[in-house]
């Protein structure tokens, strides 16, 4: 798995398209939110900014990179060749997605640390970590599911748009308006519960036990995404 991951990391660094989508865009957008934190805090809160930063990295970075990577490796038959080795299917997927996942974790940690330095830190760090890990896991699952519908790296630019824009839209809606109204709908939408959990972790004022319940919808989406991926994911190009 580690050898696959190292090889994939080299490919990410060499691929300009992936490098831009996984590194430059998320960092640039997140830096803008951090720099203008006073303006966005007036619209929502610091927790809202943290949630948007998290989903920007998770969507534009991890999710898009995962789909593009898997579609590319399928198209050039690399996935097929890997399956002829001793590596298991899970080991192959883990190796291919590990570099993008590590990059996303480092990005989120660095940007949220910068936000904490310039604007004040979160109330509950452990809860924030749980929200970040649950969100990244959800986006990996959605990436696997979307990869089953994606024929090529170029096609990934289209197939990833609904989820990318959708989760950021939900995060913005929940982060600004809260969950006083339409709470069930907002929490069940992908990204809604994770956004509320992030806001609670950063801003405080909500019991930890109540906040932990918000992990359930996010993990539910992980289960749904993995089930879809198991049905749709292909190891070879369609003929």
Give the per-residue pLDDT at 222. Answer: 93
Give the per-residue pLDDT at 142. Answer: 95
Query: What residue spans define the domains of the chain?
Result: 2-232
Task: Identify which of 90, 55, 76 has the alpha carbon closest to the alpha carbon of residue 163.
Answer: 55
pLDDT in tens, the chain (239 residues): 778 887 777 777 776 666 666 667 777 777 777 777 666 667 778 889 899 999 999 998 899 999 999 998 888 888 888 888 888 888 999 999 999 999 999 989 988 998 888 888 899 999 999 999 999 999 999 999 999 889 888 888 899 999 999 999 999 999 999 888 898 999 999 999 999 999 999 998 788 888 889 999 999 999 999 999 999 888 888 66
Give the per-residue pLDDT at 237. Answer: 84
Structure tokens at 118: 């310039």
Task: Identify which of 112, 144, 116 has the alpha carbon closest to the alpha carbon of residue 131.
Answer: 112
If 0-12 CB within 10 Å is exposed, 13-18 middle and 19+ buried, where does residue 17 land?
A: middle
Q: What distance lies between CA 47 and its chain's CA centroid?
A: 17
Instruction: List all residues 6 or more positions away from 167 whose beta carbon is below 8 Å from its beta carbon.
Output: 55, 58, 59, 139, 190, 191
Give the per-residue pLDDT at 12. Answer: 72
Give the per-residue pLDDT at 21. Answer: 66
Give the per-residue pLDDT at 172. Answer: 93
CA atoms within 13 A on the CB side of 55: 29
Give the per-residue pLDDT at 139. Answer: 95
Give the per-residue pLDDT at 196. Answer: 94
């Amino acid at each position: 798995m580690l050898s696959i991951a190292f090889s994939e990391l080299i490919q990410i660094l060499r691929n300009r398209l992936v490098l831009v989508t996984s590194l430059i865009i998320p960092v640039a957008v997140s830096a803008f939110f951090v720099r203008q934190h006073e303006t966005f805090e007036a619209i929502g809160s610091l927790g809202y900014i943290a949630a948007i930063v998290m989903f920007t990295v998770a969507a534009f970075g991890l999710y898009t990179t995962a789909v593009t990577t898997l579609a590319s490796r399928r198209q050039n038959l690399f996935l097929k060749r890997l399956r002829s080795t001793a590596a298991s299917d899970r080991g192959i997927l883990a190796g291919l997605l590990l570099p993008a996942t590590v990059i996303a974790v480092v990005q989120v940690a660095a940007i949220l640390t910068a936000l904490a330095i310039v604007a004040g830190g979160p109330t509950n760090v452990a809860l924030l970590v749980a929200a970040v890990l649950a969100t990244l896991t959800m986006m990996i699952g959605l990436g696997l599911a979307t990869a089953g519908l994606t024929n090529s790296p170029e096609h990934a630019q289209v197939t990833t748009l609904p989820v990318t824009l959708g989760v950021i839209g939900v995060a913005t809606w929940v982060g600004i308006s809260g969950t006083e109204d339409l709470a069930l709908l907002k929490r069940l939408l992908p990204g809604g519960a994770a956004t509320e959990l992030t806001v609670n972790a950063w801003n405080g004022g909500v019991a930890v036990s109540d906040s932990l319940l918000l992990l359930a919808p996010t993990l539910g989406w992980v289960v749904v995404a993995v089930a879809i991926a198991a049905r749709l994911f292909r190891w070879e190009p369609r003929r």
